[in-house]
Structure 1
Amino acid sequence: MTEKPAAIAVLDIGKSNAKLALIDRESGAMRSIRTMKNVVRAGPPYPHFDVETIWAWLIAGLAEASAAVDVEVIAVTTHGAAITVLDEDGLVLPVLDYEYPGPDSVADAYRAVRGDFAEILSPDLPGGLNAGRQLFWLARSFPEDFGRATTILPYPQYWVWRLTGRRVAEPTSFGAHSDLWNAGAGIYSGLAIREGWTELFPPQMAPWDEVGPVLADIAEAARLPARCRVVAGIHDSNASLLPHILSRPLPFAVISTGTWMITFAAGGSLDRLDQTRGGLAYVDAFARPVPSTMSMTGREFEILTAGRAKAPTSDEIARVIAEEIMALPGFVPGAGPYGQRQGRWTHDPESLTDGERTTAASLYAALVADTSLRLAGAEGPVLIEGPLAKSPLFLSALAALVDRSVIGRPDATGTTEGAALLADGPEHARRGAADPAPAVPLGGGFPAYAAAWRTAAGD
């Protein structure tokens, strides 16, 4: 029998989609990837993520993969702002969809206890975007269920628990605008201590530490080898950051794009962060604070294009710039550097072609990215991960705005690539391929367009 090639399986759960990727252990190349839409169930008792559908899809995907490869390691990465509350048997409450506004009902009481920005370096966000507010609301809205809890797990480690039966934590998820972490001191926040939640947090590990082998019954169902091991996992935007931390000199910036656009200013200063404009510090895989900004620019792009994004022609780009057809921020209330503003179009969007709308949305995204870089105090080259790395217009516009190298990595798998590095730890991490050429700055009348946009946006 021919020996099957060794592989790493990466479970990557984003807000919009879940992915299961197989990474060749020897070459680091992507062997295959399968995706599913991440469904939110309406309730009861509130909108929540459909973890059982994801679980069944994961087991089926692993079983299919195991026919072709030897899955030696499983690494998990997920979006932030999801927290799980368990007793000995499993979830005591469903995993809240962080966009649900329910936690806003306790916002005033929560703000009185959450802690100062200087301590938690986490902005006050709506709904359940702060995991601390989620827990605060759940504890008061469902006291009997919450009272049964024996463990609180970040979302990546929930899936690690289901695979291994072991409950662990790691720093990147607790450091993702959760209000549960004191980034400067590298300890849990005063809020988490005062509320008694730290007693429910399990022991911490580094993201690449081995948690254990896959449970025997899971290995059988997924046709995995008994020796298949699971590492502790990582927050998705930090997964995108990890390959660069391991291979680049400071300073540099990484913009991880998807539903959210997360800007990391590696080597930057924490002193310039503005919590009212999406400023925060994330915590990297080595538990170090990284000045950052966050905005829901991917969601805004979908809104601005009405879900009909189309590569624009040169004539469409020229018309949008010449006639100053603009989307002015912001289109997701409470999120990002313009979350306090009401978005609007300068022209009727229904009168535009799909290519013109896509042009305006791409320029909007570049202008928001430029603002985010400045607010994070970013310096050095700018690396773009995720969907916007495939947009030449976005890359060229951003290159014109920042006046330094902007490098789109359209062939990079972003979060998946970073999560795969956890299989062997930082000492043995594979160095990535050379960067593509930097984007050529957008010329023509774009500087005047950008100046007019900034004035209208209040910058």
Structure 2
Amino acid sequence: MINVTAVFDIGKTNKKFFLFDSDYKEVYKEYISFDEIQDEDGHPTENLKALQEWLKKVFQNILEASEYNIQAINFSTYGASFVHLDENGEVLTPLYNYTKQIDKCIVNEFVEKYGPREDFLKTTGCFDLSLLNSGLQLYWIKHTKPEIFKKIKYSLHLPQYLSFIFTGIALSEYTSIGCHTGLWDYTKKDYHSWVYKEELHKILPTIVSTETSINMNYNGKRIKIGVGIHDSSSALLPYVRSVKKKFVLVSTGTWSITLNPFTDHPIVEDSDAEDSINYMRINGKPVKATRLFLGNEYKIQIDKLSKLFDVDEDYHRHVKFDYDIYSEILHDFKHMFTWEGLIDQDMQKETHISYDNFEYAYHQLMTELVLLQIKSIKDVIGDDDVKRLYIDGGFSDNDLFVKLLSHYCRNMKLRTTDSSLGSALGAAISISDKKLNSKFLRKNYSLKKHVPFIIK
């Protein structure tokens, strides 16, 4: 039998289950997706009952499998989501989707009581006030659904609820609390004063380190069960554990999140920096981050360019960086794109492509997007002395993105990694006593070095 650590990695779309051996190699994987259900207002939300049934079924099947010996289990999930439990541990409400809009008068009332808005956003590391701040969900329930609020024994963030399903023990941990919840005051390193004034601390369980695990007898088997971890913080963990020098990680996908876990100045002083946010490491230390809706914008613009030049929708995947095309574009550079999901002072009022082939237009698009990414990286580095840059996620294998970033960040050592397992692997590592060495990323993440192209 192989000794393994099990991880449930729960995204909004795909729900994945992994088994990792003692060297953190994936030895088993399965995944599923569920149709969303609706909450009482008709807004789409997670099918929590189906998720819970799947978790238990998958885990029971693996426990009975003769080839695996499960020693530990942990959970990585998306953030900004609370599960509210009554005194019997029963779920009281739907898992309210963080995209759900709440009445503006509630937000305005909150700001009036606990503002000014700019000060609140800075101290809590948030970029707006909505259900994307899970703390505001508690305020909203308390003041609009008081009969439900009175029944709440515990409010658990989703990773901790999944752990609760297996342990029956309600706990809080740093990475979920620190994920733009509006609950944490980064200047005081404690819950914000509004949490105490509203007496919400009474329904928030004891805070423990994310490395905490509970030794339990589960169906006759002794297993170490983790308390769960927020997925962005989980994806960062293998880098923090294996890289000894300061670095910045750009985790790309629909959102491009740039993370600086080493800054001495995590609190953003500029109230206009709407895309600057804070996360927390597993030990409670703040992580300064910026976000960019990069993958979303890329998808929109690629769709338009593919139609404009009448090429296959996957054609862009095969375009490689061409120095001569880039030089021509740079010779008399002008911004040509109007963004749909991004705001940028240099963007045009309407898109005007002056090229007659896809390759030139694609190089133009990627140059403009990379310039936005560079700004995001510079904002998160600030005055810190950081010389290493890691890129993971969907854009790590985009030839133009990597070469252009390497060009514009010539003073930094740029590396790409293939971390499709990112958050799942981080969840396994967080409850392990095993130390990672400098070779970990090369062995497990297909680490690649990139050298800036030579300017002719």
Same fold (TM over 0.5): yes
What is the deviation of 1:386?
Answer: 2.1
Decide whether the 8 Å contact of 2:338 with 2:351 is kept in 1.
Answer: no
1:158 aligns with 2:157: no
Aligned residues with identical type, % of pairs: 22
Contact 1:28/1:430 (<8 A) preserved: no
What code does the residue aligned with 2:418 have? P
Would you say 1:242 and 2:246 are equivalent positions? no
Letter in 1 for 2:237: L
Match of 2:309 in 1: none
SS at match of 2:221: coil
Decide which of 422, 442, 449 is 1:414's aligned counterpart: 422
Please tell me whether the aligned partners of residues 160 and 233 of structure 1 are also in contact (alpha carbons under 8 angstroms): yes
Is the CA contact (8 Å cut-off) linking 1:92 and 1:146 kept in structure 2? no
| Alpha-carbon distance in structure 2 between the residues aligned to 1:250 and 1:399 | 19
Residue type of the alignment partner of 1:439: H
- Pairwise CA distance, 1:189: 1.0
Give the distance between the partners of 1:341 and 1:266, measured in 2 at CA.
30
Q: 1:24-173 residue pairs with structure 2 within 5 A? A: 24=21, 26-37=22-33, 39-45=35-41, 46-66=43-63, 67=65, 68-87=67-86, 88-102=88-102, 104=104, 106-115=106-115, 116-117=119-120, 120-125=123-128, 127-173=130-176
Once the two structures are superposed, residues 111-139 of structure 1 have per-residue CA deviations (whole angstroms, 9 ceiling, x without a partner) of 23455247634234254111122222232
CA shift digits 1:331-351 (9 cap, x unpaired): 347xxxx489999762479x9
1:245-286 deviation per Cα after TM superposition (whole angstroms, max 9, x unaligned):
222234210122333322111222235554533112211111
**Is residue 257 of structure 2 the alignment partner of residue 258 of structure 1?**
no
What do residues 87-115 of structure 1 show as CA deviations (whole Å, max 9, x unaligned)?
13322111111112235452222223455
Cα deviations by residue, 1:191-211 (Å, 9 ceiling, x for unpaired): 211211111111111112113
Give, in whole Å, the separation in 2 of the partners of 1:99 and 1:352. Answer: 38
- With over 3 angstroms needed to count, the CA separation of the structure-2 counterparts of 1:186 and 1:229, relative to structure 1, is same
Q: Which amino acid aligns with 1:284?
A: R
Structure 2 vs 1, CA of residues 71 and 148 (structure 1 numbering), >3 Å: closer, same or farther? same
After superposing the two structures, state which structure 1 stretch, 38-47 or 136-145, moved more. Answer: 38-47
Normalization by structure 1: what TM-score? 0.81
The residue aligned with 1:382 is: 389
Q: Which amino acid aligns with 2:413?
A: S
C-alpha distance in structure 2 between counterparts of 1:317 and 1:176, whole Å? 40
In the alignment, is residue 438 of structure 1 matched against residue 449 of structure 2? Answer: yes
Letter in 2 for 1:43: D
Q: Secondary structure at the match of 1:55?
A: helix
Between structure 1 and structure 2, the one with the greater Rg is 2
Question: Which stretch of structure 1 is more off in the superposition, 358-367 or 94-103?
Answer: 358-367
Q: 1:326 to 1:230 in 2, by over 3 A?
A: farther
Tell me the equivalent position of 2:206.
203
**Native 8 Å contact 2:125 2:186 kept in 1:** no
Compared CA separation, residues 344 and 128, structure 1 to 2 (3 A): farther
Size of the alignment, in residue pairs? 425
> Cα offset for 1:41?
2.5
Give the CA deviation at 1:393.
Answer: 2.2
Superposition CA RMSD, Å: 3.3
- Taking a change above 3 Å as real, the CA distance of residues 331 and 317 of structure 1, as seen in their structure-2 partners, is farther
The answer for unaligned runs of 5 or more in structure 2 is 305-312
Whether the 8 Å CA contact 2:320–2:399 is kept in 1: the answer is no
* Alpha carbons of structure 1 residues 402 and 214: separation in structure 2 relative to 1, 3 Å: farther
